[in-house]
Amino acid sequence: MENSNRDSFSGQFGIIAAAAGSAIGLGNIWRFPYVLGENGGAAFLLIYLLFVLILGVPVMISEFAIGRKAQLNVIGAFKKVAPRSYWYIIGIMGVGAAFFILSFYAVVAGWTLEYTFLALKNDFVGKTPDQVLELYNNLTSGNCTSIIVILIFLVLTSIIVSFGIKKGIERYSKILMPILLVIIVLLCVRSLTLDGAAEGLKFLFKPDFSKITGKTTLSALGQAFFSLSLGMGVMATYGSYIKKKESLGITAVSISLSDTLIAILAGVAIFPAVFAFGIEPAHGPGLVFVTLPGIFNQMVGGYFFSVAFFILLVIAALTSAISLLEVVVAYFTEELKIKRKVATWIATVGMAILAIFCAKYEAIFSFFDNTSSNIMLPLGGLLIVVFAGWFWGLKTLRSELEANGKKVYYFKAFVFVIRFIAPIAIALVFMDSIGLTEIIGRFF
């Protein structure tokens, strides 16, 4: 039965805008291009797309179903759908992961905000690559400026979340996501008009299967899983705000396609420019913050496109951040009975304190990053599909997927994936992320 008094998304577009906004973050525009560059381009892209379809969509549907069935935050959801059991630990991991991730994510988001200010002031013009690198090193050293931009970013995030689902997250997602799409398309058009852009497209879309290794496959699997915001409680929380009349399958496919489209467009915006100016595509995390400002310097109309690109990064970071904060706020409001605005600011202050430590101490940043990304997320995702596929009850699961009155014809294939394919695939990512595959490989 649907709780009519609970805040919820108004319709399909609002759901997709908000959930796609969560999935479309710095992982797509900052991380995806350099991971793709490090793993051979098009071959990696094909494997990534395959994993999004066969793994990402079923896991997302599972999270949505659990959240909507309970219509509660991620901890409360597991307590309700699996009473008198320890499955609520998955929810605790989700809330913890969201708290950890936003604490270090805000640091990187702060860099994007500072780079937007620098681009607006035209500070990149005339700077050598070494000088741009020095700017980046100063910003990542945890100085006063970096802390101020982190706090500004977190305040922006908390203001949106404090207004709730319809008036906050949905409303701003509907505004920000179309702006993000327009900006990235403009950047793609400009990048494609550069001399030598064809080589970048060839790198992105012409696969060289000799580049595929075990590492490439696992990297693609990990990127697909993390890019879609799975295993961190976001999709279960957002699922709790989805009305029964909406199709969870169509919603999950739409979000996954939107997320993948933006990741590919980010590649189209970046790699033709990278090849046009003779830059090595496997440039690592510095590709966006060190390499691209140098490219904009050499490009006709570079000022406009530099500003547009870093605004794009800020929007992507913001839409993901509000979903992470909502996971924690939903728990505070529903389990601890704290009013939304108070809960939002309590969570924000806690994250701000941790973010400052992450900015100042690289070891703390790395600990939060590794603990959440390499342990909490894959383990949370693994437990979710095991719960949905083996312990929840297939009749209950099916009834939730068919709550809109329409028959789910893909159910058997869906169950096969979440029972067998997804657990094995996620376990492989988990083993690789903690170094177990390397240890095992030494003995064989």
The CA distance from 313 to 31, in Å, is 11
The CA distance from 29 to 24, in Å, is 8
Cβ neighbour number for residue 46 with a 10 Å cutoff: 15
Domains present along the chain, CATH in parentheses: 12-441 (1.20.1740.10)
* Tokens linked to 226: 């993390």
DSSP line for 236-272:
HHHHTTS-TTS-HHHHHHHHHHHHHHHHHHHHHHHHH
Which are the contacts of 311, defined by CB distance < 8 A and separation ≥ 6? 116, 183
Does 4 have pLDDT greater than 80? no
Does 314 have pLDDT greater than 60? yes
Confidence band for 356, pLDDT divided at 50, 70 and 90: very high
* Residue range 373-413, pLDDT digits in tens: 778 888 888 999 999 999 999 999 999 999 999 999 999 99
178 compared with 221, residue with greater pLDDT:
178
Question: What number of residues does the chain have?
Answer: 444
Q: What is the pLDDT of residue 254?
A: 92
The CA distance from 77 to 142, in Å, is 38
177 compared with 279, residue with greater pLDDT:
177
* Residue range 184-231, pLDDT digits in tens: 899 899 889 888 889 889 888 888 888 777 777 877 877 787 778 888
Distances, alpha carbon 279 to alpha carbons 189, 211, 272, 282, 287, in Å: 19, 19, 10, 9, 9
The CA distance from 196 to 213, in Å, is 28
Q: What is the pLDDT of residue 286?
A: 66
149 class by beta-carbon count within 10 Å (0-12 exposed, 13-18 middle, 19+ buried) = buried
The CA distance from 415 to 58, in Å, is 9
Q: What is the pLDDT of residue 24?
A: 79
Q: Is 123 helix (H, G, I), strand (E, B) or coil?
A: coil
